[in-house]
């Protein structure tokens, strides 16, 4: 099958799909029922038949991202301060643990963003567990940082 044959086959599948269905144009919402060419007659937008998911389920990923990002923002500041002044001495162990978590959260944030597809393939329970742990650790790190 050549590329031209594949394009014609895709166009035929699209037109066949729209023959008896009320589907709005994704750009202008014009009803595409009985479409005769792979372009919206209202706005001229080129149309393609694709497969997509109806429920993205990204809540766990967003929750984990917020938790880690809240720590990574402070972690960036902590890295700069550790470079300027050195590791804090004579402070409570909770502060040392908090600063270590904040510094560690910077590469964790990068990993979470770069590996988001793998993360989203995990079972929902595992995704929510990781997200919850990230939020709890971030809150605990902030409490440990300011508790005296």
Residues 1 and 38 in one domain: yes
Residues 38 and 76 in one domain: no
pLDDT tens sequence across 79-118: 998 899 988 788 888 888 998 999 999 999 999 999 999 9
Model pLDDT, residue 143: 92
Residues 42 and 78 in one domain: no
CA-nearest of 8, 35, 33, 34 to 22 is: 33
pLDDT above 80: residue 132: yes
Residues 40 and 64 in one domain: no
* Full domain range(s) for residue 40: 1-52
Model pLDDT, residue 1: 57
pLDDT above 60: residue 3: no
The sign of the dihedral angle between the CA atoms of 58, 63, 64, 65 is positive
Residues 42 and 9 in one domain: yes
Average pLDDT over residues 73-79: 93
Quote the number of domains for the chain.
2
User: Rounded to whole angstroms, how far apart are CA atoms 42 and 137?
Assistant: 52
Token couple for 119: 């993360």
Structure-model confidence comparison of residues 88 and 34, the more confident one: 34
Which pTM does this prediction carry? Answer: 0.64
């Amino acid at each position: 099958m050549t590329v031209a044959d594949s394009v014609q086959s895709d166009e035929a599948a699209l037109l066949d799909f729209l023959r008896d269905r009320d589907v709005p144009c994704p750009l202008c919402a014009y009803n595409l029922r009985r479409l005769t060419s792979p372009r919206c007659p209202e706005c001229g937008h080129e149309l393609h038949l694709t497969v997509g998911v109806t429920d993205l389920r990204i809540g766990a990923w967003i929750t984990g991202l917020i938790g880690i990002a809240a720590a990574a923002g402070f972690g960036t500041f902590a890295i700069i301060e550790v470079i300027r002044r050195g590791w804090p001495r004579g402070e409570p162990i909770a502060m040392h643990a908090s600063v270590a978590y904040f510094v560690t959260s910077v590469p964790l944030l990068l990993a979470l963003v770069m590996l988001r597809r793998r993360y989203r393939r995990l079972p929902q329970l595992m995704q929510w567990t990781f997200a919850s742990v990230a939020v709890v650790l971030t809150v605990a790190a902030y409490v440990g940082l300011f508790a005296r």
